[in-house]
Structure 1
Amino acid sequence: MSGESKSRGPLFNVLIVVGGLIFGFGLGFSHMARPEVVLNFLQFEDFGLLFVMGGAAVVTGVTFAVASRSSGRAPLTGKAYTRRLKSFDRNVLIGGGIFGVGWGLSGICPGAAYASLGIGNYPILFAIGGMFAGAYAQGLWRKHSVSDRPVSSEAD
């Protein structure tokens, strides 16, 4: 067991599942788990998704602002709040483009794909299978590309 998972409280996994259930219920309730609604948004025909995402961003932003000021520690892990910066590089740009094309073709993003199963959209399993296959292929590609690089004698 890793050191990180040892520091988590006993209710950590339960809270994660409850949060996921609330998220999934919200996606289903707002009809954002239906690919045709997402595709209508991407074709500028229905802007409901914009309001759902905006509402979620506001609630999340306020929650993090209040939580980080009140205790300075994450409630589930007890770790200090810190900024996690990811450089904007070629991999982020290409990966984001591939993700966007997949989202546009399938009409569904990963979170909504799982919620879509809950409303009976079983053909979405093909998209979920594609997400797993794509992630696996990327892992193989990264492993192959890293193993082809010469080992540097310099310390990082």
Structure 2
Amino acid sequence: MLILNSGGTFNKKYNPLNGELEIPYNNDVIERILQSADFDYDVAGVIYKDSIEMDMNDRKMIANIIMESKDDTFIIVHGTDTINITAEFLSEIFDDRKIILTGAMNPFEIDNVEASLNLGIAIGFAKAKTENAVYICMNGFIEPCQNIVKNKTLGKFELVK
């Protein structure tokens, strides 16, 4: 299993010098969460962007990493604003791998429960689920990517009916 970090709110940290939340160029948040796991995971930083800033080249870079990897199971930490776009893009390319995208509505630095829970659920699901597909894991849901969307009015993910 390979965990890819693309940034997003999940990773944001407060910069006291300018008063802004910024995405650091490291995997510290994921590594802190994984300290409680009794298993070594491979973690690779990929982009370190807010998902609003991600473009098709970024999505192609993620797809290339997946394509070239010897792993068949991937968790991608991703910003929630465009998580569906990346998931749909990857689902058009891959049907022979298990890919789970997750993120957080609040930075780990502000609320470490949500990010930890989402990553933990994604890891557990990746280990238990055998069906290859592209999934989104948010707000206690883990579903094929076409079955879950972000309700931007309510600020949470919901199942598509």
User: Rg bigger for which structure?
Assistant: 1
TM-score normalised per structure 1: 0.23
Which structure has the highest helix share of the two? 1
TM-score normalised per structure 2: 0.22
Which structure has the highest strand share of the two? 2
